[in-house]
A = this chain, B = another copy of it.
Amino acid sequence: MNSAAQKCLPALAELFREHGFEGTSLSMITRATGLGKGSLYHAFPDGKAQMLALALDDISAWFENAVFAPLRDENAAICIPQMLDIVGEYFKSGRRACLMGSLSVAEPADPFNQHILQYFSAWKAAIVAALACKDADGVADDILATIQGAIVLSRALNDPEIYDQSMQRLKNRL
């Protein structure tokens, strides 16, 4: 993949986040990236589906470095709350949707289910490894579900405080 393609992946992710896969048109993409259709198809020969697939890979890579890796290096009591802070910043306290999460509840799904499954599996595995306690599996599910649910609810009620307060309560009960 060339650097022009690499550079526009964040903009693509943002579009898919806000409008979904079918709701994001090539004309929206040319507008947002400043690249014509010719350039886009030079960078992404397989078209829109590849744009989403690579945007998802880009997101996974970011999480691997910024979220999953640190969980393997420190002890749970410290690193889980740290993770929640980093993730809260990434999702802008729920103002920003989770692309992986939103694709898992709607959209064509089939071709991208693998990306989504791998993302959440890797995240969960990293949390389980950090916890190393009884029912770590259940607690990890609880953490991930609370994050995803807080995003949905704070967006639905248009109130980022709901996200922050949900994370505070999550920290308290861990």
Q: Does A133 contact B (CB under 8 A)?
A: no
Q: Does A104 contact B (CB under 8 A)?
A: yes
Give the nearest-CB partner of A20 in chain B. B106
Overall SS of chain A's interface: helix
Partner of A120, one of B22, B145, B157: B157
Chain B residues within an 8 Å CB radius of A155: 104-105
B106 touches A152 (CB 8 A): no
B169 touches A153 (CB 8 A): no
Q: How many residues of A contact B (CB 8 A)?
A: 46
* Shortest Cβ distance from residue A146 to the other chain B in the assembled complex, whole angstroms: 6
Given contacts A116-B156, A141-B162, 18 further A-B pairs with CB under 8 A are A17-B106, A18-B106, A19-B106, A19-B108, A20-B23, A20-B107, A101-B105, A104-B152, A105-B105, A138-B165, A144-B149, A144-B153, A145-B145, A146-B146, A147-B149, A148-B148, A149-B150, A152-B152
